[in-house]
Amino acid sequence: MTDPTRRPAIVSRRTVIRSLAVTSIAAPVTLTALGEASAWGAGSRPAATPLWHPVPAVDKLNAFEGVEADRGHRHPDRTYVLVENADHYRINIWHDDLDTTGSNDRQRTEVKGMVQNGTAFKMLNGQTWQINYAMYMPSTLHGTSRFTHIFQTKSVNPDAGPWCTLDLTRGSGGTEMINARAYGTPGAPDIAAGRLAPLRDRWVTVQWTLTIGQRGAATFALLNGTDPSSPVYMKGSEKNVVIPANTSYVRPKWGIYRSIESAPSDIIDTYILFKNYTATRLS
């Protein structure tokens, strides 16, 4: 694990970098690209333009509404979230971190929300959004017997959820899994699931398509690579998914949020990387 406290390099000519990066954003991976019929029907809807497409070297942490890490200020010497190598975000967590706003049984390093040029995008009831990103999970990031979320959607004002999550789990037989779940829906059903081991130490692509509401919908796909032609590793859909905006809005969160009541051998120093973020409102 590289030094988590090192600072990202200073990047100049910001406007040029943003222009080059934005024009290089890949089109959202649709179900058609995954070899299935589009949910909208062939040719019935033109490709939408991403509203959120942060460039890490330019936007830095301004791409998010905020960071939730070390909220008890126990480790002021640690850098929890940073831009690394100018093209991706690195999110660090340590074995002795503690989220003091909870029940002292969990730890959290997360970024939340989607901000472009100072505007926070809000997912509202009845809207359908597609959220794409690439992530890198090292071998030190373990599935656990209690909860470990690396993606969440939650309502704001009042705070509620999580509604849909991406979890790293460890079953009774010891097998580590990655589970996309309708976490806030009765029974917390899996939307898609697969073994974690083949996805480690490499970049993979994640796509969520979420319809917000008390009776919403969720589609999930994970590609084993970052090229649009990468093989589909797991995918699935669920209807009647609980993703309500309540009186305000829903926003996504990325990072590591895990229970410390899992086996100590799974609660170790680790990190996760994210890049190629886009969010597109489809309806």
CB 211, CB 176: distance < 8 Å: no
pLDDT of residue 46: 55
Query: Which residues does residue 200 pair with via DSSP β-bridges, in sequence order?
Result: 137
Residues listed for the chain: 283
Q: How far is CA 251 from the centre of its chain?
A: 11
pLDDT of residue 3: 44
The CATH number that domain 14-281 falls under is 2.60.120.200
pLDDT of residue 54: 98
pLDDT of residue 236: 98
Closest CA to 131 of 35, 211, 61: 211
| Strand residues in 102-147 grouped as ranges (E) | 106-112, 115-116, 119-120, 128-136
3-state secondary structure of 37: coil
- Please state, as a whole number, how many other Cβ atoms lie within 10 Å of the Cβ of residue 212: 23
Tokens at residue 38, please?
């589009």
DSSP 163: -
CB 272, CB 134: distance < 8 Å: no
CA distances from 240 to 37, 70, 246, 263 (A): 21, 35, 16, 34
Q: What is the pLDDT along the chain (283 residues), one digit of tens a residue?
A: 444 434 333 333 343 334 334 433 333 333 333 433 333 333 445 568 999 999 999 999 999 999 999 999 999 999 999 999 999 999 999 999 999 876 789 999 999 999 999 999 999 999 999 999 999 999 999 999 999 999 999 999 899 999 999 999 998 889 999 999 999 999 999 999 999 999 999 999 999 999 999 999 999 999 999 999 999 999 999 999 999 998 999 999 999 999 999 999 999 999 999 999 999 999 9
Global pTM reads 0.85
pLDDT of residue 207: 98
pLDDT of residue 38: 32
Which H or E run includes 190? strand 190-195
Q: Return d(Cα 190, Cα 145) in angstroms, integer.
A: 16
